[in-house]
């Protein structure tokens, strides 16, 4: 009996030691991919969509066709004024690196159809606007215009005043405005960094994202905060904001994250007198998005990037009727290519419209009408201010892409706030209530193309980081 009890006790002791030893064994360290992406999965905050659905839709159904569209003449040439002075401070340090430079197009490099329609989007549209502009000039001395013409002039004047725009657009008629070939001036790492670069984002976050002045953000928004409690303090104010203001912050953070993904994916890996080699810089990506290196802030940035993707995706789904009108053209002067590109554009837009988990914006600005209108105006003014800050960027290539992506997001917000105007557009003929200039169209699709590229690049970085400890 004693021997049996002794055997049983010994067996239980061995089992206990075995079980305990299993618990005491150290777990394998997380991979770099897990530290960057473990929190970037499942449903997004304030949304019913999940990250995995976005990845699959973007990377395999949308991205290839969108890139093909953006390589066409209509979308590759963007007119921009990179010489506008900074309206907020004068001590701008211009980047002297060769990769900061932007090479503008020579006059004969831009299709004639684009140069003659810098503000317009179709041959018919050109004629119509010229008639309206002429009527407006005549209206100053001739009061005999018909009531219909006077109404048209007022509508166009109202549009030209940009009261519905979220960006302070360049004066593209200025002698300083030049066409830039976006394919020959790609967004990539230029070496522009340090206090001058941090100052731009710091002003954006501090003064334009509805943040209380009592909450301080570190000077370098890419760096982790000085302590965990400080980081929690910084983000705790977001939880107390209404959903609209919280969304505004997440849009700006998502844009910031998207830009940093591009810089990490197109990094100068080798620079010799023979050649420059550009590619993925895993270390740079980790510094910006690793959960440990950023004390939890990096994955939050990536989730905001997906939030931005959904917002711009929804705007594109809303504006389909504008592009479906038979008189709309992607006008460059080459009728065959213009027709083919419109077909491709509509295919992309209908693909976007079929996305199963679109962001539901109905909860936005759904309260008291007076308060909702006030909040919309705050949105517009804050975002216009951010668009002006882009003229303070010291690197010209960074300024180019910053201005384009800001205008693209501003155009997306304009669309979302113009849903009723879009719904009431005539099926053909001029639309006086809702218009998009060529500049807005080019920036809208190129900005979304940048975000789509970011989502695609996240898949590449996941794979590259899979075996990195």
Annotated binding-site ranges for FAD: 188, 190, 201, 253, 256, 288
Q: Which residues pair with 271 in a beta bridge?
A: 276
Residue 79 DSSP SS3:
strand
Tokens linked to 69: 């569209």
Q: Which of 95, 100, 105, 395 is catalytic?
A: 395
Q: Which residues pair with 276 in a beta bridge?
A: 271
Do residues 109 and 76 make contact, with C-beta atoms less than 8 angstroms apart? no
Catalytic, 47? Answer no
CA-based diameter of the chain, in Å? 120
**What stretches of 174-320 adopt beta strand conformation (E)?**
178-181, 267-271, 276-279
Q: Which of 47, 100, 167, 398 is catalytic?
A: 398
Task: Outline where 50-117 has alpha helix (H).
Answer: 51-57, 63-70, 73-76, 112-115
Q: Which residues contact 243 (CB under 8 A, 6 or more apart)?
A: 46, 363, 364
Which residues are known binding-site members? 188, 190, 201, 253, 256, 288
Q: Nearest 5°: CA angle at 110, between 108 and 116? A: 105
What is 326-381 written as a DSSP string?
TT----SS-HHHHHHHHHHHHHHHHHHHT-TT---GGGTT-S-HHHHHHHHHHHHH
Backbone angles phi, psi at 182, to 5 degrees: -65, -30
Catalytic, 395? Answer yes
Q: Which residues pair with 279 in a beta bridge?
A: 267
Where in the sequence numbering do the catalytic residues fall? 395, 398
């Amino acid at each position: 009996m004693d021997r049996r009890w002794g055997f049983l006790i010994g067996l239980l002791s061995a089992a206990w030691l075995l079980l305990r030893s299993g618990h005491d064994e150290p777990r394998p360290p997380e991979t770099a991919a897990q530290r960057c992406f473990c929190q970037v999965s499942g449903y997004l905050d304030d949304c019913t969509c999940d990250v995995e659905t976005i990845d699959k839709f973007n990377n395999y159904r949308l991205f290839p066709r969108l890139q093909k569209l953006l390589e066409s003449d209509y979308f590759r040439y963007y007119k921009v004024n990179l010489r506008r002075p900074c309206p907020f401070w004068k001590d701008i340090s211009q980047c002297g690196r060769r990769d900061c430079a932007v090479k503008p197009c020579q006059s004969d490099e831009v299709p004639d159809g684009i140069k003659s329609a810098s503000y317009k989007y179709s041959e018919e549209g050109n004629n119509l606007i010229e008639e309206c502009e002429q009527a407006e000039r005549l209206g100053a001395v001739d009061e005999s215009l018909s009531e219909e013409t006077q109404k048209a002039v007022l509508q166009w004047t109202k549009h030209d005043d940009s009261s519905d725009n979220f960006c302070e657009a360049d004066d593209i008629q200025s002698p300083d405005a030049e066409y830039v070939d976006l394919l020959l001036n790609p967004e990539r790492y230029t070496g522009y960094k340090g206090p001058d670069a941090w100052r731009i984002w710091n002003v954006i976050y501090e003064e334009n994202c509805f943040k209380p002045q009592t909450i301080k953000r570190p000077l370098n928004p890419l760096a982790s905060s000085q302590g965990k409690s400080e980081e929690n303090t910084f983000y705790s104010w977001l939880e107390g904001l209404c959903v609209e203001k919280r969304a505004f912050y997440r849009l700006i953070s998502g844009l910031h994250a998207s830009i940093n993904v591009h810089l990490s994916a197109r990094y100068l890996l080798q620079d010799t007198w023979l050649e420059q080699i550009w590619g993925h810089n895993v270390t740079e990506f980790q510094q910006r998005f690793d959960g440990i290196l950023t004390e939890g802030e990096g994955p939050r940035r990536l989730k905001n990037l997906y939030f931005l993707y959904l917002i711009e995706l929804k705007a594109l789904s809303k504006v389909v009727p504008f592009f479906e009108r038979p008189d709309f053209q992607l006008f460059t002067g080459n009728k065959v290519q213009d027709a083919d590109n419109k077909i491709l554009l509509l295919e992309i837009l209908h693909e976007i419209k079929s996305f199963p988990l679109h962001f539901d914006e109905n909860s936005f600005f759904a309260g008291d009408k007076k308060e909702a209108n006030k909040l919309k105006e705050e949105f517009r003014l804050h975002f216009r201010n951010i668009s002006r800050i882009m003229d303070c960027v010291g690197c010209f290539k960074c300024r180019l892409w910053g201005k384009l992506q800001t205008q693209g997001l501003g155009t997306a917000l304009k669309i979302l706030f113009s849903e009723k105007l879009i719904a009431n557009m005539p099926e053909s003929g001029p639309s006086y209530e809702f218009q998009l200039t060529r500049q807005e169209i080019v920036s809208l699709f190129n900005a979304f193309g940048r975000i789509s590229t970011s989502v695609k690049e996240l898949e590449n970085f996941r794979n590259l980081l899979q075996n990195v400890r």
